[in-house]
Chains A and B, each alone.
Chain A
Amino acid sequence: MADDLERAEIIVTEVHKKINDAFEVFDHDLNKTVDVREIGAIVRSLGCFPTEAELLDIIDERPPNVLLLKVEEPSGFICFERFLPTMSKILMEHKFRPIPEDMLLTAFEVLDRQKKGHLEPDELTDYMRQGNEPFTHLEMEEMLSSAVDPDSNLIYYKDFVNTMVLDGER
């Protein structure tokens, strides 16, 4: 029993450290706050796959008066003390679990109806504009800039999936 408790404590400390590390990277002034707009990058870089809507929920989970520690520009800052419990809960409960890589490849194969092994940029753009949270112009351009093979002007999605997986690994 005591052993279990100890183990649980170790896990919690590990989770807290992990969150702290990710948070620190975005805490420019080392004052335990980050810009609200960076929360998405922090949550996701911790291996979570929330939707945009879920992200907003995470941010809104704090009482509004605490959320806006200091209003500077049209944004706000989020302080670590408020972020830690929310994020710990997410990690401990394994919310927003990662989507396995093979599913990513399968998803591209679904879009490639004729099974050519590649997609046209327009095709991909059409698809990425679908769903409840379509890509913005910026996201689309960014994605195409790294996905399109410059010689053929096609997206060889198998390669693209590989780079996405490899670059993020380690």
Chain B
Amino acid sequence: MGCGVSKSNRFQKRDNKAIKAAVLIQHWYRQYVARMEMKRRYTWHIFQSLEYSGEQAQIKLYNFLGYLMDNFTPSSNERNLISHFFRENEVCRDSEWERFFCYKNIKVPEIYSGPRLTFPLTVEQGSSLVDAFRNKRQLHSRFVLQLLLETWRLLRRFPNISRISTCQSKEITICGDLHGQLEDLLLIFYKNGMPSMERPYVFNGDFVDRGEDSIEILLILFSFLLLYPNDVHLNRGNHEDHIVNLRYGFTKEVLTKYKMHGKRILKLLQKIFSWLPLATVIDQKVLVLHGGISDTTDLSVLARVDRHKYVSALRPPKKRLPSTASMSVDLEEDAWRSGRRRSSSSSLPKPLTRGSFQSSSLPDFSDRVQLPVEEQLEAQQRLLALHSSAGGATPATSPSQDSQEGGDDTQEEWKQILDLLWSDPMTQDGCVPNEVRGGGCYWGPDVTEDFLSRHHMLLIIRSHECKQEGYEFCHNRKVLTLFSASNYYDVGSNRGAYVKLGPDLVPYVIQYQASSMTRELTFRQRVGQTEHSALRLLKKQLFSHKSDLICAFQDLDKENTGLVSLKDWAMAVERVMHLGLPWRMLRFQLVSCRNRDGSVDYLQWFTELAIQEPNMDHIEKSLLEMLYRHRSTLETIFRIVDTDNSGVINMEDFRQTWKLLSIYLKMEFTEEAISDLAVAIDSNQDGSIDIQEFMEAFRLTDKKSRLERGRSMFMGTAPDLTRLHPGDPDLTRLHPGDPDLTRLDPGDPDLTRLDPGDPDLTRLHPGDPDLTRLETGDPNLTRLHPGDPDLTRLHPGDPDLTRLDPGDPDLTRLETGDPDLTRLETGDPDLTRLETGDPDLTRLDPGDPDV
């Protein structure tokens, strides 16, 4: 007896010890998770800062070129080089356009096995296009042009703002940025169904750039637009702009995929982009637009603008009235100049410069651009003449004032469009220029409130910003950001999301992640991996600022010790980089060898960054560094100079490009240095430079890409990957919910918050709407009956399909070679889809019609 008591005591004691140990582990683990979260956050910061600083550079360059156009004599070399670029507003008869884009003379070769389109398009052709793109086929340029021409004709009939309504049976699906990531679009179609009369869609801009399949995405969206003009709605995004496309890859993509007719395709797309509607309003209560609003956004103004005048939204259109053309240009310039004077002489805070974002983000170039003396004189004379004529008119309404107002109107319109495409929300009240992106504005909750009440609306759905979860509510849930390109920065960096909106106008968000890679990784691995690629990017950026950084360090290192304190290191780095990153936080990741007192040997540090420079010994160091740093800018200028979009520029243009760049960057390049560059690339000495080749030759790489090797090893050894269906939805979201939820009844609204896979869902009945949220492979689906609509969401190869009867419509979605087809009986209509040589055909009897 006594023995028993002591035994139980001992157990008690042991249990206490175990619980103490458990608590310690809990403690430790939570601390560990916090540190990982910290990493995840700053990784995000790095990606985003680098992305936005690129956007800024793009807009700066464009403003610079615009400035050149406005200030150089028409005949100057520099101007000739870029003037074609601004000749976009040409008034051209539509019939002339149609002739220019005529596709009829393009022959489609017999051997072409891709999809063939006829117009009006049929539903079958639409889905065959999707299938072809899924299988990495390409659409023939003849059909591309034809499809684009049809799209252009259709788009011109649409108003600036599409007004649509929900209805009980048709929920509207809204998608955010796709950025050329076809995998995401296919996944959305797979999960949600293709667009149709019953399944309307709004695609909220940024279809192109960055991803590899931008043109495919456009062609799919346009073909569905042609098929269902009342049920598919496209809003323009800031990347539907040919100038933005020069930097972010779409131009390059089209020229690579369509070598012969790429140029015409791009030209036609320029037109199409300018005709894309600007916004969509659902049930008069929900506004869907790409970027956002500002304190001046007014839908009635937006509804009236000639949207096609804004071929690029980065620059206000010039007036084209022939009689006043020259005058209005001068005036505009004058207004702009005085605007600049105001903003530079005034010490008032930033918001004043709002409204002329050109001037606010444009540093003063006048010291770099030396106007020829005669031209300055001429300009002054023109101004004088103008003023004297104004003085001669009646003083009350001088003509100059009139046209000034006219200019303001255009300016005002342009600003509305710019804000719509480029703005981001912020948490503070107010409205300030978006200095980070260089375009549009930041608007606060008060602006949202005011806008919604002015327009009698409830909600703004916008895209434009990548969010880790694919969506994010802000401004008291009155603004929803929606981003549909998953793994945007890197594999595992973010989810994508789309929204379904029914008559109750309560947005229902569906998240996904396209890459099947991500599910194999634990949270920890994912964070580690994205962190590494973010740091790699950042290290390259740092390396490309080497000489500026060394200057900054030396400034702080008064005694020339070669060392700086960590504090000084962080300060100097931010002073040079302007990325607004938490440098002190990042120091452990960026600086590994430190002295005991915490100081950094800065020269040593650059070796430590482990960046491999291309082997270009004979080329000036400063020139090389400039090349690394302004890589995208340089490529953009090349693409502009490459007037005929051939991908190749001649030596003279090459030199001119550098001249432009040297003005832009305030740097001197000697003729000799530039010749060296040219020679280094033009190995066959034919006097022309391949842009692509040139850019590739001057790329920074990692010295040791251990991580990359590790990653590909990982991809190679994961045996499960081969068995996965492409586009299989990511199941990483499958977290069981809180134990308290077990007390809820089916139908309880709280259940909608459960993730698929939650054990609580087992209590749902077949037909329960919550089941629609389940993903393929969910055990709960086994409880469904054949014919249940939820089964339409199953993948081919899904074990649940084995329960379907031959003849079940769901089987039509199976792909050739699918094991489930072996269950079909001879004569089954589904077999007609099989291709010759399919093993399933061996089961058929000779004489079977399918044979």
Contact = CB atoms under 8 A, between A and B. Distances in A.
Interface of A: 17-18, 21-22, 24-26, 28-31, 33, 40-45, 48-49, 51-52, 70, 72-73, 98-99, 103-104, 106-108, 110-111, 127-128, 130-139, 141-143, 145-146, 163-164, 167-168, 170
A91 to B, nearest CB: 15
Contacts of A127: 18-19, 21-22, 25
Q: Which 7 A-B pairs have the closest CB atoms?
A: A44-B34, A107-B21, A110-B21, A170-B588, A127-B22, A45-B38, A146-B522
25 contacts: A18-B584, A24-B582, A25-B582, A29-B427, A40-B34, A42-B34, A42-B38, A44-B34, A45-B35, A48-B31, A52-B30, A99-B27, A107-B25, A110-B21, A111-B21, A130-B18, A137-B735, A137-B737, A138-B735, A142-B33, A146-B523, A164-B28, A167-B32, A168-B32, A170-B588
Contacts of A43: 34
A18 B35 CA distance: 14
B26 A131 contact: yes
A131 B23 contact: yes
B738 A137 contact: yes
Given A45-B37, A128-B25, 19 more contacts: A21-B582, A29-B426, A41-B37, A44-B33, A99-B27, A106-B21, A107-B24, A110-B18, A127-B18, A127-B21, A130-B19, A137-B739, A141-B735, A142-B33, A145-B522, A167-B32, A167-B36, A167-B528, A170-B588
Contacts of B26: 128, 131, 133-135
Nearest to A145: B522
A152 B523 CA distance: 20
B346 interface: no
Nearest to A48: B31
Contacts, number: 139
A121 to B, nearest CB: 14
A143 B29 contact: yes
Contact of B25 (A22, A45, A108, A168): A108
Contacts of A22: 38, 585
Contact of B585 (A24, A31, A143): A24
A29 B474 CA distance: 12
B694 interface: no
B32 to A, nearest CB: 5
Among A44, A70, A141, max chain B CB count under 10 A is at A44
B230 interface: no
A14 to B, nearest CB: 9
A44 B23 CA distance: 16
A137 B736 contact: yes
B584 A21 contact: yes
Contacts of B736: 137, 141
A127 B675 CA distance: 71
A25 to B, nearest CB: 5
Nearest to B428: A31
B436 to A, nearest CB: 10
A14 B567 CA distance: 9
A70 B22 CA distance: 38
Nearest to A77: B427
B666 interface: no
Contacts of A136: 738
Contacts of A17: 567, 584
B300 interface: no
A132 B20 CA distance: 11
Nearest to A132: B23
B97 to A, nearest CB: 45
B34 A45 contact: yes
B476 interface: yes
A164 B29 contact: yes
A110 B15 CA distance: 10
Contacts of A146: 522-525
A49 B25 CA distance: 11
Contacts of B525: 146
A142 B523 contact: yes
A115 B233 CA distance: 64
B477 interface: yes
Interface in B492-533: 522-525, 528
Among A72, A107, A133, A141, max chain B CB count under 10 A is at A107
Interface in B573-591: 580, 582, 584-585, 588-589
A110 B35 contact: no
B258 interface: no
A72 B448 CA distance: 14
Contact of A167 (B24, B524, B737): B524
Contacts of B567: 17
Contacts of B41: 25-26
A105 B115 CA distance: 62
A142 B732 CA distance: 11
A31 B528 contact: no
Contacts of A110: 17-18, 20-21
Contacts of B20: 107, 110
Nearest to B473: A73
A167 B22 CA distance: 21
A134 B22 CA distance: 9
Nearest to B734: A141
B735 A128 contact: no
A133 B22 CA distance: 10
A132 B22 CA distance: 11
B42 interface: yes
B45 interface: yes
B22 A41 contact: no
A130 B25 contact: no
Nearest to A106: B21
Nearest to A141: B735
B582 A104 contact: no
A21 B585 contact: yes
Nearest to B524: A146
Nearest to A28: B427
A44 B428 contact: no
A104 B27 CA distance: 10
Interface string B715-756: 000000000000000000001111100000000000000000
Contacts of B25: 104, 107-108, 111, 127-128
Contacts of B31: 44, 48-49, 98, 168
Given A21-B585, A131-B23, A142-B523, A41 B38 contact: yes
A25 B35 CA distance: 12
Among B38, B45, B736, max chain A CB count under 10 A is at B38
Contacts of A30: 580
A52 B477 CA distance: 29
A48 B38 CA distance: 14
A111 B33 CA distance: 21
Interface string B451-491: 00000000000000000000001101100000000000000
A44 B35 CA distance: 7
B186 to A, nearest CB: 27
A107 B735 CA distance: 27
Nearest to B31: A44
Interface string B123-135: 0000000000000
B825 to A, nearest CB: 41
Contacts of B17: 110
B19 A139 contact: no
B445 to A, nearest CB: 8
Contacts of A26: 41
Contacts of A49: 27-28, 31
Contacts of B585: 21-22, 24-25
Contacts of A45: 34-35, 37-38
Interface in B629-679: none
B573 to A, nearest CB: 13
